[in-house]
């Protein structure tokens, strides 16, 4: 039987312990090492389900640990906090002079090309002199294909009575 502490753990808690440093792309490495202090906001849609919102917080924490970025904040477009405006404020309060907003979306759409840029512009307007960029959605990438294969294998193992890992 699970202890009270175990039953309150989020499903991603076990993965948190295995976060390893990433091999950073040169542009990100350079931005983190020199130039204006960089803030990163990872934004999703937001959900009425707390579990979904907590997952984004964990993604932001793991990204921060894996990259060594000093300032990484989660944000939700709607339905939950922190909002993009709140996350932007936190980045600036922590010393960010430039903010990159990374949508935690698979593909392009209205949220990426209209809603998030509008929210980012409104948040930045409150902080004259702070520049910002909106990165593209996650999209098609070889690592996404690997992740799909791993999730299918996990499902098959579980179906065969194996562990879920």
Beta bridge partners of 99: 39, 132
Tell me how crowded residue 85 is: count the other CB atoms within 10 A of its CB.
17
Question: Would you give per-residue pLDDT tens digits along the chain (165 residues)?
Answer: 333 443 343 444 444 456 889 899 999 999 999 878 999 999 999 999 999 999 999 999 999 999 999 999 999 999 999 999 999 999 999 999 999 999 999 998 899 899 999 999 999 999 999 999 999 999 988 899 999 999 999 999 998 886 655
Per-residue pLDDT at 11: 44
Per-residue pLDDT at 7: 36
7-134 CATH: 3.40.50.1400
For residue 40, which of 56, 51, 53, 54 has the smallest C-alpha distance?
Answer: 56
Q: Assign 161 to helix, strand or coil.
A: coil
Per-residue pLDDT at 65: 96
The domain spans of the chain are 7-134, 140-165
Q: Residue 135: which residues within 8 A CB-CB, separation 6 or more?
A: 100, 101, 102, 103
- What's the predicted TM-score (pTM) here? 0.84
Per-residue pLDDT at 14: 45
Tokens of 131: 């520049």
Rounded Cα distance, 148 and 81, in Å: 29
């Amino acid at each position: 039987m699970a202890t009270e502490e175990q039953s309150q753990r989020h499903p991603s808690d076990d993965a948190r312990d295995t976060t390893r440093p990433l091999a950073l792309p040169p542009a990100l490495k350079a931005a983190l090492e020199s130039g204006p202090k960089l803030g990163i906001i990872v934004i999703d849609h937001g959900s009425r389900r707390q579990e979904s919102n907590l997952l984004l917080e964990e993604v932001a924490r793991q990204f921060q640990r894996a990259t060594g970025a000093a300032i990484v904040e989660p944000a939700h477009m709607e339905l939950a906090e922190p909002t993009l405006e709140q996350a932007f404020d936190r980045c600036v309060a922590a010393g960010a002079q430039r903010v990159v907003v990374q949508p935690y979306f698979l593909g392009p759409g209205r949220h990426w090309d209209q809603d998030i840029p509008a929210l980012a512009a409104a948040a930045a307007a409150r902080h004259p002199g702070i520049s910002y960029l909106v990165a593209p959605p996650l999209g098609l990438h070889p690592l996404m294909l690997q992740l799909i294969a791993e999730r299918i294998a996990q499902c098959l193992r579980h179906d065969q009575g194996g562990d879920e890992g």
